[in-house]
């Protein structure tokens, strides 16, 4: 594996994952300050071996890592964080993440069970048949928990905070949508953005259904938040965005414009699919994504519910709850 140096002391390492998204990009920051890894890859033996091999090319080891920064609490981005932290010399590496991601990293096992229960209830309320909902949660969600382990202690970050990375000062940006605790890191002088899964060139980031925040009862409206975060990032002066998957992005504003067009077109298709019927989110998902796999049922329903949130806000769709089932009809 060849490590790509992006700017002095900042390197991209591509690590394998067992997921449809393919390899993950993690970023090694060397130079003055703690040796830092931004994101980690999932907890698999081959991802660990690839990380060791990539670090060896740089003349270092996992034991030399002093800090891990997690862009968001999805398992392909933090799965190895706990193992890296306890392998590091001198009492272990420190793990940083946004404060809203902290409980999901520190209580991974119990939080994952809560997540599975919430997803199951959401799928059933969305009209997914009970047996299919149970199978989707078990196969597409429950099985994923093994690709990460709880991080014993997370140092919380907040929006607007500064971080020293690769000899430069970076800004922490809270960019919720793909995950409620998602963050990007922005370096204004070099005009660089570590975009995690907020911006990816070859695929549109899924507005994943998320649990209500601690102390709240309503789920976050993921796509609404995502589009707000896109507007915030579009205002930045960025030369290159470095994503969690795929190639660097050299025109982030053009990509963001495409993403807005994509979501508007998706909502138009949904309205056409609904016609004059009263539909569940699952019926709309079936029309939009025929013959889905268990994982695609969950991701497709996330997409559809996200767009329905916006259509309801715009007064184009009416949402009605009846007998533990949510139905939608065109206004």
Q: Residue 307: which CATH number?
A: 1.10.10
Instruction: Tell me which residue range forms the domain holding 306.
Output: 109-144+259-330
Domain closes at, from 204, 227, 250: 250
Q: Cα separation of 186 and 207, whole Å? A: 22
- Based on the fold, state whether residues 124 and 231 are members of the same structural domain: no
What the block records as the tokens of 69 is 């920064």
- Based on the fold, state whether residues 160 and 297 are members of the same structural domain: no
| Number of domains forming the structure of the chain | 2
State the pTM of this model: 0.94
Q: Cα separation of 203 and 175, whole Å? A: 17
- Based on the fold, state whether residues 22 and 123 are members of the same structural domain: no
Q: Cα separation of 51 and 40, whole Å? A: 8
Q: Cα separation of 166 and 171, whole Å? A: 13
Q: Which CATH number is 30's domain given?
A: 3.60.15.10
Domain closes at, from 228, 250, 272: 250
Strand partners, 243: 196
Domain closes at, from 250, 281, 299: 250
Residuewise pLDDT in 10s, the chain (331 residues): 344 567 889 999 999 999 988 999 999 999 888 999 999 999 999 999 999 999 999 899 999 999 999 999 999 999 999 999 999 988 889 999 999 999 999 999 888 888 888 888 999 999 999 888 888 777 666 688 899 999 999 999 999 999 999 999 999 999 999 999 999 999 999 999 999 999 999 999 999 999 888 778 889 999 999 999 999 999 999 999 999 999 999 999 999 999 999 999 999 999 999 988 899 999 999 999 988 887 788 899 999 999 999 999 999 999 999 888 999 999 9
The residue behind tokens 């048949």 is 129
């Amino acid at each position: 594996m060849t490590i790509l140096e992006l700017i002095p002391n900042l390197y991209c390492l591509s690590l394998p994952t067992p997921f449809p998204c393919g390899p993950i990009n993690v970023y090694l920051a060397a130079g003055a300050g703690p040796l830092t890894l931004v994101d980690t890859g999932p907890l698999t033996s081959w991802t660990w071996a690839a990380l060791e091999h990539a670090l060896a090319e740089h003349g270092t080891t996992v034991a030399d890592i002093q800090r891990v920064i997690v862009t968001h609490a999805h398992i392909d981005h933090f799965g190895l964080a706990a193992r890296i932290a306890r392998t590091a010399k001198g009492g272990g590496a420190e793990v940083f993440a946004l404060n809203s991601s902290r409980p999901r990293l520190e209580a991974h096992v119990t939080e994952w069970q809560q997540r599975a229960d919430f997803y199951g209830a959401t799928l059933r309320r969305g009209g997914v048949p009970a047996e299919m909902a149970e199978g989707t949660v078990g196969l597409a969600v429950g099985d994923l928990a093994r690709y990460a382990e709880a991080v014993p202690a997370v140092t919380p970050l907040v929006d607007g905070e500064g971080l020293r990375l690769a000899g430069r000062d970076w800004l922490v940006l809270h960019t919720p949508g793909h995950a409620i605790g998602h963050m990007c890191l922005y370096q204004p002088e070099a005009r660089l953005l570590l975009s995690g899964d907020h911006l990816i060139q070859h695929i549109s980031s899924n507005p994943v259904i998320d649990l209500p925040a601690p102390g709240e009862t309503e789920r976050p409206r993921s796509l609404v938040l995502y589009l707000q975060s896109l507007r915030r990032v579009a205002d930045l002066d960025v030369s290159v965005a470095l994503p969690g998957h795929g190639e660097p992005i050299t025109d982030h504003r053009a990509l963001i414009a495409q993403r807005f067009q994509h979501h508007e077109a998706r909502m138009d298709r949904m309205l056409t699919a609904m016609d004059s019927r009263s539909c569940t989110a699952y019926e709309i998902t079936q029309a939009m994504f025929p013959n889905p796999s268990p994982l695609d049922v969950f991701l497709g329903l996330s997409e559809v519910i996200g767009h329905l949130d916006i259509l309801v806000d715009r007064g184009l769709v009416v949402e009605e709850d009846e007998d533990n089932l949510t139905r939608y009809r065109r206004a």
